[in-house]
Chains A and B, each alone.
Chain A
Amino acid sequence: MSGQPWRLLIADDDPTATLLFRAALAGDEFELVLADNGIDALAYFREQAFDLVLLDVEMPGMDGLAVCRAIRQLRGFSFPVVLVTGRDDPAFRTQVDALSAHHLGKPINWSRLPLVLRAYLMPGTS
Chain B
Amino acid sequence: MSYAGTAESLHSRLARINFVVLVSAIVLVTACIVFTSAWVALKGHVDEVYQRLDFLREGQPPALIVFDEAAAARHFVSLRTMPYLQSVDVFRKDGSWLAHFDQDGTPGSPLSANPVVGHRYSWRKVVFLAPAVVEGENGGWLQVSIGLTGLYRQALGYLGLILVEMAAALALAQYLQSRQVAKLVEPLHELTTHMTDVSLGRLDIRAAGSQVAEINQLAHGFNQMVDQIRERDHWLSTHLGNLEQIVEQRTRELRLAKEAAEAGSRAKSEFLATMSHEIRTPMNGVLGMTELLLDTELAPHQRQFVEAVESSGKHLLGIINDILDFSKIEAGKLELDEGNFDLRALLDESRQLFEQSARRKGLALLVDLPPEKNLMVRGDALRLRQIVTNLLGNAIKFTESGDVSLCLQVSESDEEKLHLILTVKDSGIGIPLAAQAHIFEHFRQADGSTTRRYGGTGLGLAICRRLVEMMGGTIEVESAPGQGATFTVMLELPKGSLVAPPADSIAEEVPQDAVRVPDADRHHKRQKRLRGRVLVAEDNESNLIVARAQLERMGLEVLTACDGQQALDILAREVVDIVLMDCQMPVLDGYSATEALRQRELGSDRHLPVVALTANAMTGDRERCHSAGMDEYLAKPYSVEQLYSVLAQWLPVERRRAVGGVTMRPVAAENIGGEGSGDGKSAIDHSAFDKIRALSPASGDELVVQVISAFLKAAERELGRLEQGAQDGDLALQAKAAHALKSSSFNVGANRFGECCKVLEEAARDGVVMELPANLERLRSEWDRVCGELKGVVEALGK
By a CB distance below 8 angstroms, the chain A residues around B736 are 58
Q: Are B695 and A110 in contact (CB under 8 A)?
A: yes
By a CB distance below 8 angstroms, the chain A residues around B781 are none
By a CB distance below 8 angstroms, the chain A residues around B695 are 20, 23-24, 26, 110-111
In the complex, how many angstroms separate the beta carbon of A21 from the nearest chain B beta carbon? 10
Complex Cα distance, B748 from A108, in Å, reads 11
Q: Are B742 and A86 in contact (CB under 8 A)?
A: yes
Q: Are B692 and A23 in contact (CB under 8 A)?
A: yes
The residue from B691, B710, B740, B743 contacting A19, defined by CB atoms under 8 A apart: B710
Residue A16 CB within 8 A of the other chain: yes
For B698, the closest partner residue in chain A by CB is A26
By a CB distance below 8 angstroms, the chain A residues around B694 are 111
Complex Cα distance, B744 from A15, in Å, reads 8
By a CB distance below 8 angstroms, the chain B residues around A18 are 710
In the complex, how many angstroms separate the beta carbon of B310 from the nearest chain A beta carbon? 48
Complex Cα distance, B694 from A23, in Å, reads 9
Residue B421 CB within 8 A of the other chain: no
Residue B696 CB within 8 A of the other chain: yes
In the complex, how many angstroms separate the beta carbon of B722 from the nearest chain A beta carbon? 14
Interface residues of B toward A: which range? 20 to 34
By a CB distance below 8 angstroms, the chain A residues around B691 are 110-111
For B710, the closest partner residue in chain A by CB is A15
By a CB distance below 8 angstroms, the chain B residues around A108 are 747
Complex interface residues of chain B between 680 and 708 (CB less than 8 A to chain A): 691-692, 694-696, 703, 706-707
Residue B799 CB within 8 A of the other chain: no
Residue B714 CB within 8 A of the other chain: yes
For B748, the closest partner residue in chain A by CB is A16
Q: Are A110 and B740 in contact (CB under 8 A)?
A: no
Complex interface residues of chain A between 20 and 66 (CB less than 8 A to chain B): 20, 23-24, 26, 58
Residue B711 CB within 8 A of the other chain: yes
Q: Mark B139-157, 1 if CB is under 8 A from A, else 0.
A: 0000000000000000000
Interface residues of A toward B: which range? 10 to 19
Q: Mark A94-113, 1 if CB is under 8 A from B, else 0.
A: 00000000000011101100
Q: Are B713 and A106 in contact (CB under 8 A)?
A: no
Residue B650 CB within 8 A of the other chain: no
Complex Cα distance, B411 from A29, in Å, reads 80
Q: Are B743 and A26 in contact (CB under 8 A)?
A: no
In the complex, how many angstroms separate the beta carbon of A92 from the nearest chain B beta carbon? 12
Residue B19 CB within 8 A of the other chain: no
For B713, the closest partner residue in chain A by CB is A15
Complex Cα distance, B695 from A18, in Å, reads 13
Complex Cα distance, B742 from A18, in Å, reads 16
Complex interface residues of chain A between 66 and 97 (CB less than 8 A to chain B): 86
By a CB distance below 8 angstroms, the chain B residues around A117 are none
By a CB distance below 8 angstroms, the chain B residues around A86 are 739, 742-743, 758
For B751, the closest partner residue in chain A by CB is A107
* Residue among B736, B740, B748 having the largest count of chain A Cβ atoms under 10 Å: B740
Q: Are A15 and B696 in contact (CB under 8 A)?
A: no
In the complex, how many angstroms separate the beta carbon of B710 from the nearest chain A beta carbon? 4
The residue from B713, B742, B747, B758 contacting A20, defined by CB atoms under 8 A apart: B747
For A18, the closest partner residue in chain B by CB is B710
In the complex, how many angstroms separate the beta carbon of A88 from the nearest chain B beta carbon? 11
By a CB distance below 8 angstroms, the chain A residues around B703 are 19, 23
Instruction: Tell whether A17 pairs with B739 under 8 Å between CB atoms, given A23-B703, A26-B696, A111-B691.
Output: no
Residue B746 CB within 8 A of the other chain: yes
Instruction: Tell whether A16 pairs with B744 under 8 Å between CB atoms, given A23-B692, A23-B695, A23-B696.
Output: yes
For A12, the closest partner residue in chain B by CB is B743
By a CB distance below 8 angstroms, the chain A residues around B758 are 86
Q: Are B740 and A13 in contact (CB under 8 A)?
A: yes
Q: Are A16 and B711 in contact (CB under 8 A)?
A: yes
Instruction: Tell whether A20 pairs with B707 under 8 Å between CB atoms, given A14-B714, A110-B695.
Output: yes
- Cross-chain pairs A/B with CB under 8 angstroms, 20 sampled: A14-B743, A14-B744, A15-B711, A15-B713, A15-B744, A16-B714, A16-B744, A16-B747, A19-B703, A19-B706, A20-B695, A20-B707, A23-B692, A23-B695, A58-B743, A106-B743, A106-B746, A107-B747, A110-B691, A110-B692
The interface of chain B, by Cβ under 8 A from chain A, is 691-692, 694-696, 703, 706-707, 710-711, 713-714, 736, 739-740, 742-744, 746-748, 754, 758
Beyond known contacts A15-B714, A107-B746: 18 more, CB 8 A cutoff: A14-B714, A14-B740, A14-B743, A14-B744, A17-B743, A17-B744, A17-B747, A19-B703, A23-B692, A23-B696, A23-B703, A58-B740, A86-B742, A86-B743, A106-B742, A106-B743, A106-B746, A110-B691
